[in-house]
Amino acid sequence: MQPGPNGRSAGTVSWGGIFNTYYWLDPSRRVTGLIMTQILPFADPRVLALYGRYERSVYEAIKVA
Protein backbone atom coordinates (compact mmCIF):
# COMPACT_ATOMS: atom_id res chain seq x y z
CA MET A 1 0.00 0.00 0.00
CA GLN A 2 2.50 2.56 -1.26
CA PRO A 3 1.86 5.94 -2.89
CA GLY A 4 1.43 5.75 -6.67
CA PRO A 5 3.82 7.24 -9.23
CA ASN A 6 1.24 9.72 -10.54
CA GLY A 7 0.26 11.28 -7.22
CA ARG A 8 -1.94 8.71 -5.50
CA SER A 9 -1.75 8.47 -1.73
CA ALA A 10 -0.95 5.23 0.05
CA GLY A 11 -4.19 3.33 0.60
CA THR A 12 -5.78 4.42 -2.68
CA VAL A 13 -7.98 1.77 -4.28
CA SER A 14 -8.39 1.23 -8.00
CA TRP A 15 -9.91 -1.09 -10.56
CA GLY A 16 -9.43 -1.93 -14.22
CA GLY A 17 -11.95 -3.55 -16.54
CA ILE A 18 -11.50 -5.67 -19.66
CA PHE A 19 -12.30 -2.83 -22.10
CA ASN A 20 -9.70 -0.51 -20.51
CA THR A 21 -12.10 1.13 -18.07
CA TYR A 22 -10.26 2.32 -14.97
CA TYR A 23 -10.99 4.24 -11.80
CA TRP A 24 -9.25 5.18 -8.59
CA LEU A 25 -10.47 6.43 -5.21
CA ASP A 26 -8.06 8.34 -2.99
CA PRO A 27 -9.85 8.89 0.33
CA SER A 28 -6.83 10.60 1.88
CA ARG A 29 -6.94 13.43 -0.66
CA ARG A 30 -10.68 13.17 -1.29
CA VAL A 31 -10.24 12.72 -5.04
CA THR A 32 -11.37 10.14 -7.57
CA GLY A 33 -10.90 9.60 -11.27
CA LEU A 34 -12.56 7.55 -13.99
CA ILE A 35 -11.61 6.84 -17.57
CA MET A 36 -13.78 4.70 -19.83
CA THR A 37 -12.93 3.25 -23.23
CA GLN A 38 -14.05 0.31 -25.33
CA ILE A 39 -10.61 -0.72 -26.53
CA LEU A 40 -9.11 -4.20 -26.59
CA PRO A 41 -6.77 -5.73 -25.62
CA PHE A 42 -6.85 -5.10 -21.88
CA ALA A 43 -3.98 -2.90 -20.64
CA ASP A 44 -3.51 -1.29 -24.04
CA PRO A 45 -0.29 0.76 -23.76
CA ARG A 46 -1.86 3.87 -25.30
CA VAL A 47 -4.78 3.81 -22.87
CA LEU A 48 -2.46 3.22 -19.91
CA ALA A 49 -0.35 6.20 -20.97
CA LEU A 50 -3.49 8.34 -21.26
CA TYR A 51 -4.69 7.15 -17.84
CA GLY A 52 -1.32 8.06 -16.30
CA ARG A 53 -1.37 11.55 -17.83
CA TYR A 54 -4.95 12.06 -16.69
CA GLU A 55 -4.16 11.00 -13.14
CA ARG A 56 -1.06 13.24 -12.96
CA SER A 57 -3.05 16.20 -14.25
CA VAL A 58 -5.75 15.68 -11.60
CA TYR A 59 -3.18 15.69 -8.79
CA GLU A 60 -1.34 18.68 -10.27
CA ALA A 61 -4.64 20.59 -10.41
CA ILE A 62 -5.51 19.92 -6.78
CA LYS A 63 -1.99 20.92 -5.70
CA VAL A 64 -2.55 24.35 -7.23
CA ALA A 65 -6.05 24.77 -5.80
What's the pLDDT score for residue 12? 96
What's the pLDDT score for residue 2? 85
Decide if 52 contacts 35 (C-beta within 8 A).
no
Q: What is the C-alpha to C-alpha distance for residues 65 and 61, in angstroms, rounded to an integer? A: 6
Tens of pLDDT, residue by residue over 6-65, are: 999 999 999 999 999 999 999 999 999 999 999 999 999 999 999 999 999 999 999 876
Decide if 22 contacts 51 (C-beta within 8 A).
yes
What's the pLDDT score for residue 65? 64
